[in-house]
Amino acid sequence: MTAELLTTAEAVRLVPVLRPEIIDGAAFLPDDGRLDVHALLTSYLRRARATGTVTRWQATVTAVLREGARCAGVRTERGDVVRARWVVNAAGAWAAEIGHLAGALPIPLVPHRRTIALFDPPGGLDARGWPFVSCDQDGVYFSPESGGVLVSPMDEDPMPPHDARPDERRVAEAFDKLGRVAPALVPRHVRRSWAGLRTFAPDRVPVVGEDPTRPGFFWLAGQGGCGIETSPILGRVAADLITTGRTTAFDAARLAPARFAAE
């Protein structure tokens, strides 16, 4: 990965709406790109179906089945029973709850809400060629998106798992922060806003591996805000560990749920 250090003037030339008086410089990553999330997820599903995977939608898991000490499948709210040699807990914000159903290690995974707003740039500004801009000092990022600009106040409000909705106070906070960094970009209207839950373990490292107290129960959780970016490598690590018990793709011990066993 290439990183270029920019002066204040160079940063403003790249993104003309930035306030030069608050910028000492910037780091620019010219080789970075944007993921097409929809295309990536669709390709995962297409490949899974082609290899025989059966998907069940809107089927909430209400119980994790056991045979002796080992997990043996799940039961859904419809009463369906799905038998399996492994139960993979990739439940995102609900991962801790599924772990509780399994009687697995009580890993304190906590969902945090992140708010995003999308707007049309005012005054005929053309943001299409701008990079993703993140200002950690002011706690805000913005980026071209869908012909407009998205902005986030980098909020991380801890809360129980649920279908997240944007908080209007956080949307207002995003534009207040944007006004400090790029005042010419603050719009009069919001096109739309949304929110998602980013789930973290206490050490903010993903949790990937078989539960040390519940054989057959495999954690694939705690990816925070990087789930889609890390899905290729974490998916490979998980597949390796489930099928062979080891992996050369990453140091699996750093991800193992056993690190929480003594806490």
Same domain, 196 and 150: yes
Under a CB-based contact definition with an 8 Å cutoff, are residues 198 and 156 in contact?
A: yes
- pLDDT exceeds cutoff 60 at 263: no
Same domain, 116 and 193: yes
Same domain, 100 and 160: no
- Per-residue three-class SS string for 41-82: HHHHHHHHHHCCCCCCCCCCEEEEEEECCEEEEEEECCCCEE
Same domain, 46 and 152: no
Could you give the CA distance from residue 138 to residue 140 in angstroms, rounded to a whole number?
6
Confidence of residue 145 (pLDDT cuts 50, 70, 90): very high
Domain region containing 119: 4-32+110-200
- pLDDT exceeds cutoff 60 at 97: yes
Q: How far apart are the first and last CA of the chain?
A: 36
34 or 186, higher pLDDT: 186
CATH code assigned at 78: 3.50.50.60
Same domain, 116 and 190: yes
Q: What is the pLDDT of residue 1?
A: 74
Residues 178-217: tens digit of each pLDDT: 999 999 999 999 999 999 999 999 999 999 999 999 999 9
Confidence of residue 30 (pLDDT cuts 50, 70, 90): very high
Same domain, 177 and 207: no
Question: Structural domain tally of the chain?
Answer: 2
CATH code assigned at 181: 3.30.9.10
Same domain, 27 and 128: yes
Could you give the CA distance from residue 176 to residue 15 in angstroms, rounded to a whole number?
19
Pairing, β 26-28 against β 4-6? antiparallel
The last residue of one of the domains, among 200, 220, 242, is 200
DSSP-derived 3-state class of residue 98? helix
Same domain, 9 and 139: yes
- pLDDT exceeds cutoff 90 at 96: yes
Under a CB-based contact definition with an 8 Å cutoff, are residues 27 and 3 in contact?
A: yes
Same domain, 104 and 119: no
Residues 111-132: tens digit of each pLDDT: 999 999 999 999 889 999 999 9
The whole model's pTM is what?
Answer: 0.92
Calculate helix-pair angle for 227-244, 37-50, nearest 10 degrees. Answer: 20
Same domain, 117 and 164: yes
The last residue of one of the domains, among 175, 200, 225, is 200
Q: In whole numbers, what is the pLDDT of the chain averaged over residues?
A: 95
Sign of the alpha-carbon torsion through 178, 182, 187, 188:
positive
Under a CB-based contact definition with an 8 Å cutoff, are residues 211 and 86 in contact?
A: no
The last residue of one of the domains, among 150, 169, 200, is 200
Average pLDDT over residues 13-37: 92
Same domain, 118 and 196: yes
Determine phi and psi for 133, rounding to 5 degrees: -115, 125
Same domain, 132 and 196: yes
Determine phi and psi for 169, rounding to 5 degrees: -65, -35
**E strand or H helix at 110:** strand 110-119
